[in-house]
Structure 1
């Protein structure tokens, strides 16, 4: 892919002030605490546990259970400044200014939105500010997943449309991203755009697995079906081989590899 997934930090730079604080206080820090690279605040943070999915992922590649229900552990968030990231001890040099600015503060403090969704939107915002548009798109899609779980379809639709805009604003899309754009548009009930995008993607000689998913998407769009469907609906398990959901999982949620595994397991290279 052209850009990293939002569950992988797309930078290695660190705040000099926070790094100096870590170097000076590493010996005295309580076990399990992390120092925020933006403001230097120490806090206890959870880390995602490996939860290999036992069910197939959705068409937008949201993983199946039990990994599906661990979203609350995918991002850490500083309790002081609100910075959210897979690892808040790491930060891009441009992020501190973005976190202090009014748009970020408005996002993370908007109590009309689910708290977990705000965490993903905050991460999407700093990714966008640092230029990682495709990663920001995925983080925004993950906020839509939270809205799905909270039974807030209008927010889910809004954030899916925003994810599509971010994907399209970034570098050229690969086949995986194109299929996910089609699914996001369908789930957001943007029927004309979804149909046109599905037809264009199908005409672009996609790999076999992607072509099968696009064919299903086209049928769902024609039926005005905006519901959740799994990859298993488009790619039945081949004989003598377990389904994709029983063949392992990326090391971190949303990490690159879902589509590569689908292509490999189902022969759509």
Structure 2
């Protein structure tokens, strides 16, 4: 007998969207974490709000309009990061807050309601339409193709831009591609977790995976598994309990991070003792670090 939560059409759409978000958000987030740009998704989310408002104002798809505006904003953010040496922080602040304020204003002018605003800010699985699922599917396919097909190049430029440039990689183009892919991911996730919480889903599963994994490949795979697990669990739970889906999904991800952090502590100590014993057996006096960044292993 089919499970009850699979019967309603809105839940079928919500589960499809949740799986796609659970895969794409950590897949992009791992590169942002490596580049120490964990909050980039939050900034793009602010800018994407203007796209949502334009969608209401022009009576077009808010998802596609948000994608266009978010991509433009992400490219501008990357250019400011690269060339805005002196007043870059101020320019980014104006972009972020202007994007959010403009989006709220345009939604009201375009005839939207506070309910519409909240559904995009914090997610609303029950309002995901067939059109939204189609758009999310197309955008998610782009993200997956980029993050898997170009993972070696993206890892190289995220790890060390100078080295990547010396090896002949098109660093500027790859940086812009990461920014564009992050923008697309934000619009993919906004119907599930909301624009204000999407950055957490891009970062927290990656941080949780890093507690156990020691290579880029393992971190990538484990973070996607965690992201998919928490989005599905959160979506199914909201069917039975009247809870906000975006907030629940993010809290579940944080809970996984806390659990894996607690589990990783004794493992790290055991590895350190084993490494120290091996070094002692080889007659080495050098100290062995207690932890190691997962992405230090360049196996991709």
User: Is the structural similarity TM-score above 0.5?
Assistant: no
State the structure with bigger RCO (CA 8 A, min sep 6), 1 or 2: 2
Q: TM-score range by the shorter chain?
A: under 0.3
After TM superposition, the score normalised by the length of structure 2 is 0.25
After TM superposition, the score normalised by the length of structure 1 is 0.27
Structure with more helix by fraction: 2
